[in-house]
Amino acid sequence: MTGIPVFLSAEKHHILIVGATSAAMAKLGLFSATPARISVIAPGASAAVKEAGLDAATTGHTGLSIIDRAFAEDDLVGKTLVYIATDDQFAEERALRLANGRGLPVNVVDQPAKSNFTTPAQFARGPIQVAFSSGGAAPVFVRRLRSSLEKLLPPSLGTVAAAAGTARDRVKNLIPDATRRRLFWDRLFDNAGQYADLAEADVERLIVDAARNHRMGATSGQVQLVGAGPGDPDLLTIKAHRALQQADVIVYDNLVSRDVLALARRDADLVFVGKREGDHGIGQDGINKLIVERALAGQRVVRLKGGDPLLFARAGEELAALRAHDVHVEVIPGISAFQGIAATTQIPLTDREYSSSLTLVTGHLKDGSYKDWARLAGEGRTLAVYMGVKNAGSISAGLIGEGVPAKTPVAVVENGTRATERRFYGTLEGLADLVQQNSVKSPALLLIGDVVRNAADLNIADRADLLATA
Ligand SMILES: C[S@@+](CC[C@H](N)C(=O)[O-])C[C@H]1O[C@@H](n2cnc3c(N)ncnc32)[C@H](O)[C@@H]1O
């Protein structure tokens, strides 16, 4: 770490800005939002400040002095922070030399090599201030980081944070237990969106009411059933990301990608409950018991599931177990495999010409067969088969046997949205061979229907083949 991050108490500082350039005005704009005293010194400073709409009459800043002349040594007296942003080379060098001579923190804007401190990229949500720096090494990355965090922290959080500060002592009296109080605040900030557009006093009243109810409520923690998406961590929802960052324990299985797990809070307890070769894991009953127990112990539990938690994910059993024990549950949806794969293959799942319906089925069939294949696929329909790799042969035979055209296009996509994604195309009659010859492994999804012809990576010849065979 080459920088020392500190937050200076603005009201105790007097900032000198040497220059009237647009960079100087940007600094003035930044600090005008604080109670720091600010002096701007440069020929033409008044006109520049007025033009930028940063004069005291416009901003209401009471500690602003604007001096329309060249910088002089005495201007440094009483200043605690110096910014130099002037076009005048001579003035820049002189101000820098004199400020350094006095041991003052000095920043020559956009010239880190000449400065002894830098101003971080930043944003604020009420009393919460977030600042970032890469020490000038990767400003684009820092900007991206800021923008991702800005999205994670909704603007309403500022009002909630301010109201939370005022209500803090009352909440402490209402919920004296520190763990329960942390849970209360976590839940409150999670749902900051519901306070959007409310005045701070109203939010404060609601917070105290919520604390009163929380005191009277169950002592349990909570469980969030969270969709991890198909693998690409960028497909995680902002809410899911936040849940991963706040969890005490994350209960996950095979389908959750490493990249998604890497986003978990560093000291969260990661519990794998999937199956590994030769080991069947703790089973569904074991998982139900585990999440109930952890929640009743007051922990924030994330039950992380691949794709969407409510699709082919045995969520019903987990929800029933949690409800039976009165545990607070929240479901955070995820991008399901069919959506992620539609995006990577660029196959529109419905299409004015080819398909007006989409059916999702599991290919993991107890007796290997559906009763009514003909209703699942065929002309004008798209079928997505989850867990269908092992039964690809019986699925294709079942569909063809009930009249679905043997030449219906199919796509088989393994590890969809991950760096290891593989895509194969063919026809329904060749589905089993397609899977076998390419040694397709789980997780893989089968897409069956005329829409497959629209896949982006089918070359013209392949597409013509599929059209010809249809
Ligand atoms: C138990 S189901 C879970 C489905 C998940 N809840 C969802 O919404 O995507 C597992 C099946 O989902 C499909 N699947 C999940 N992730 C996948 C991926 N990244 N690529 C291809 N198929 C995937 C496969 O068919 C896999 O066998």
d(CA 6, ligand 1 centre) in Å: 46
Mark whether 321 and 370 lie in a shared domain.
Answer: no
Q: Which of 166, 190, 217 is the last residue of a domain?
A: 217
411-427 pLDDT, tens digit each? 999 999 999 999 999 99
Domain of 250: which CATH number?
Answer: 3.40.1010.10
245 in a domain, yes or no?
yes
Residues annotated as part of the active site:
253, 275
182 in a domain, yes or no?
yes
The ligand 1 atom nearest the CA atom of 337: 9
d(CA 373, ligand 1 centre) in Å: 21
Provide the pLDDT confidence category of residue 368 given band limits of 50, 70 and 90.
Answer: low
Mark whether 195 and 231 lie in a shared domain.
Answer: no
Residue 204, both tokens:
């404060």
pLDDT score of 96: 97
Q: What is the mean pLDDT of residues 441-465?
A: 86
pLDDT score of 143: 84
Query: How many independent structural domains does the chain possess?
Result: 4
Reply yes or no on whether the pLDDT at 344 is more than 70. yes
Mark whether 36 and 95 lie in a shared domain.
Answer: yes
372 in a domain, yes or no?
yes
pLDDT score of 463: 65
d(CA 342, ligand 1 centre) in Å: 13
Ligand 1 pocket test target in 386, 422, 423, 441 with most atoms within 8 Å of CB = 386
Reply yes or no on whether the pLDDT at 454 is more than 80. yes
35-44, 231-240, 272-281, 347-356, range with the lowest pLDDT: 272-281
Reply yes or no on whether the pLDDT at 374 is more than 80. no
Greater pLDDT, 344 or 266: 344
pLDDT score of 434: 96
Greater pLDDT, 137 or 377: 377
134 in a domain, yes or no?
no
pLDDT score of 231: 95
| β-pairing verdict for 222-227 and 37-41 | unpaired
Reply yes or no on whether the pLDDT at 467 is more than 60. no
Mark whether 180 and 248 lie in a shared domain.
Answer: no
Reply yes or no on whether the pLDDT at 218 is more than 90. no
143-192 pLDDT, tens digit each? 888 888 887 777 778 888 889 999 999 999 998 888 778 878 887 887 77
pLDDT score of 55: 92
pLDDT score of 317: 96
- Binding pocket residue ranges, ligand 1, CB within 6 Å: 230-231, 255, 305-308, 311-313, 336-337, 386-387, 413, 415-418, 442-445
d(CA 308, ligand 1 centre) in Å: 9
The ligand 1 atom nearest the CA atom of 305: 6
Q: Is the pTM of this model over 0.95?
A: no
Mark whether 287 and 404 lie in a shared domain.
Answer: no
Reply yes or no on whether the pLDDT at 369 is more than 80. no
Domain of 37: which CATH number?
Answer: 3.40.50.720
Which of 97, 93, 149 lies closest to 121 in space, CA to CA? 149
Reply yes or no on whether the pLDDT at 119 is more than 80. yes
Which of 213, 205, 177, 231 lies closest to 417 in space, CA to CA? 231
42-46, 293-297, 315-319, range with the lowest pLDDT: 293-297
Mark whether 177 and 277 lie in a shared domain.
Answer: no
Strand partners, 429: none
Q: Which of 171, 190, 217 is the last residue of a domain?
A: 217
Domain of 355: which CATH number?
Answer: 3.30.950.10
Q: What is the mean pLDDT of residues 228-255?
A: 93
339-343, 344-348, 454-458, range with the lowest pLDDT: 454-458
pLDDT score of 430: 96
Reply yes or no on whether the pLDDT at 257 is more than 80. yes
Reply yes or no on whether the pLDDT at 200 is more than 60. yes
pLDDT score of 286: 95
- Per-residue 3-state assignment (H helix, E strand, C coil) for 231-292: CCHHHCCHHHHHHHHHCCEEEECCCCCHHHHCCCCCCCEEEECCCECCECCCHHHHHHHHHH
pLDDT score of 297: 84
pLDDT score of 461: 61
Kindly write down the DSSP assignment for every residue of 116-178, as one continuous string.
Answer: S--PPEEEEETTEEEEE--TTS-HHHHHHHHHHHHHHS-THHHHHHHHHHHHHHHHHHH---H
Q: What is the dihedral of CA 455, 459, 462, 468, to 10 degrees?
A: 80
Between the alpha carbon of residue 224 and those of residues 183, 195, 291, the distances in Å are: 13, 21, 10
Rg (alpha carbons) of the chain, rounded to whole number? 30
Q: Which domain holds residue 226?
A: 222-332
pLDDT score of 3: 86
4 in a domain, yes or no?
no
Reply yes or no on whether the pLDDT at 365 is more than 90. no
Residue 316, both tokens:
């019903």
Mean pLDDT across the chain, nearest whole number? 90
215-219, 428-432, 458-462, range with the lowest pLDDT: 215-219
Q: Which of 184, 217, 250 is the last residue of a domain?
A: 217
pLDDT score of 221: 72
394 in a domain, yes or no?
yes
Residue 222, both tokens:
């909570």
73-95 pLDDT, tens digit each? 999 999 999 999 999 999 999 99
If DSSP codes are grouped into helix, strand and coil, which group holds residue 7?
Answer: coil
Give the chain's largest Cα–Cα span: 94
Residue 239, both tokens:
């809410």
Q: Ligand 1 atom 10: the closest Cα is on which residue?
A: 387
The ligand 1 atom nearest the CA atom of 231: 19
Consecutive H or E run containing 410: strand 409-414
Residue 166, both tokens:
């005022």
204-218, 257-271, 385-399, range with the lowest pLDDT: 204-218
Q: What is the mean pLDDT of residues 59-84?
A: 95
Q: Residue holding tokens 């000198």?
A: 16
Which of 142, 116, 117 lies closest to 131 in space, CA to CA? 142
pLDDT score of 216: 58
Reply yes or no on whether the pLDDT at 371 is more than 80. no
Rounded to 5°, angle at Cα 204 from 199 and 208: 150
